Amino acid sequence: MRRLLVDFRFWLLAVACALAIAGCFRPHIAVEQERPEVLFAVDITGSMNVRDYGVGEKLHTRLQEVRTKLKQTLTQLPCGSRAGLAVFSERRSFLLLEPIEVCESFAALSTTIEQLDWRMAWEGDSYITKGLESGLEIAKSLGVSLVFVTDGHEAPPLPAEQAEIGHMMMQGEAEVRAQSLTTQGATTADNESERNAGVVIGVGGANLSPIPKFDETGNQIGFFGADEVDQENRSGPPPADAADREGWHPRNAPFGASAAAGNEHFSSLKESHLRGLATTYGLAYTTLANSGALTELIMANAKKRLVQTSIPLAPYIAGLALLLLAAYYLSAFFIKRAIPPSGSGGEQTTAAAETNLSTSTRRLI
């Protein structure tokens, strides 16, 4: 019995040593796994300079928050994923980096994201619908999904009729596209690859905040006032209540004679507008929440490709070797309890004999 137990412990130690040696060669196995492919398009217009993230006096801009969240998202995408980068200003998205592998090119991606700045914008206008469509066209040409990051602030504001319908095209287009967009959405729902076209990410707080104003050298010189931005878009037909305005004339003053009033010099997240756009174009919608939930949503709504990935086996081999070593040392404890020490039986017999002899001697006396 002792011989068998000793042999068993020998093999435990031998196999553990063999596994440890095998782990030093870093074995791995190649498997095919799905990996997302996305294009991040970031709004860099003036409203993204609004400071409504942070606590107390330590507030930072929307664009700073976007940079932080996107870099965190990159660290959570699995190796083999591909990500590209574009910026949005005026009415179109502009490609900066074509999609590249996130692990091998992490430094290039994170550095480029960190350098995103409002001064890269080529115009001060912000036509969200046009920018979204432009981003979708770029993503389609690259064969990836779009992740469009914006606060939804239109500058100038949507024309009255377009704002009522919700998702019309911008200034200069007379024809309403609501019906065509609805048809496009219905077609999209029947196509798996198109249905997973990407995500619209809303940025900003729910409350109105002032928009910072900068000079030509990039120094802040205050905030925009009501008279410094367009409070109303007066292209196209006037709103339904225009006839009730002071000085209204159907030909000479269709929008009324007084200056437009509004709060377009303040900005907040235009969530209902962005939700409507996302629904129209078959995209998912979320806000700039924690990066973990953001990564999960992006992966769930992104186009994917099968890539050959390498799974290292060394951690599993090392774990098995540790278990065998633990069994080796624990077995010594159980062996001591299961087998009595050698000679213990003879000692017990001698002690019993001495006891009997002592008893007999006392009786004789």
CB 277, CB 213: distance < 8 Å: no
Span 28-229+264-311: which CATH code? 3.40.50.410
User: What is residue 227's predicted lDDT score, i.e. its pLDDT?
Assistant: 84
Residue 155 φ/ψ, nearest 5 degrees: -140, 115
Q: Could you tell me which residues are beta bridge partners of residue 304?
A: 36
User: What is residue 108's predicted lDDT score, i.e. its pLDDT?
Assistant: 94
Interior/surface letters 218-254, b for 16+ CB within 10 angstroms, e for the rest = eeeeeebeeeebebbbbebebbeebeebeebeeeeee
Domain boundary assignment for the chain: 2-27+313-364, 28-229+264-311
Low-confidence ranges of the chain (pLDDT < 70): 1-6, 160-196, 233, 236, 240, 242-244, 247-253, 255-259, 290-291, 336-365
User: What is residue 92's predicted lDDT score, i.e. its pLDDT?
Assistant: 93
How many of the other CB atoms lie within 10 Å of CB of 311? Answer: 12
> What residue type is 298 in one-letter code?
I
User: What is residue 340's predicted lDDT score, i.e. its pLDDT?
Assistant: 61
Instruction: Give, for 139, the enclosing helix (H) or strand (E).
Output: helix 128-142
User: What is residue 190's predicted lDDT score, i.e. its pLDDT?
Assistant: 45
User: What is residue 187's predicted lDDT score, i.e. its pLDDT?
Assistant: 46
Q: Cα Rg for the chain, rounded, in angstroms? A: 36
Predicted TM-score (pTM) of this structure: 0.71
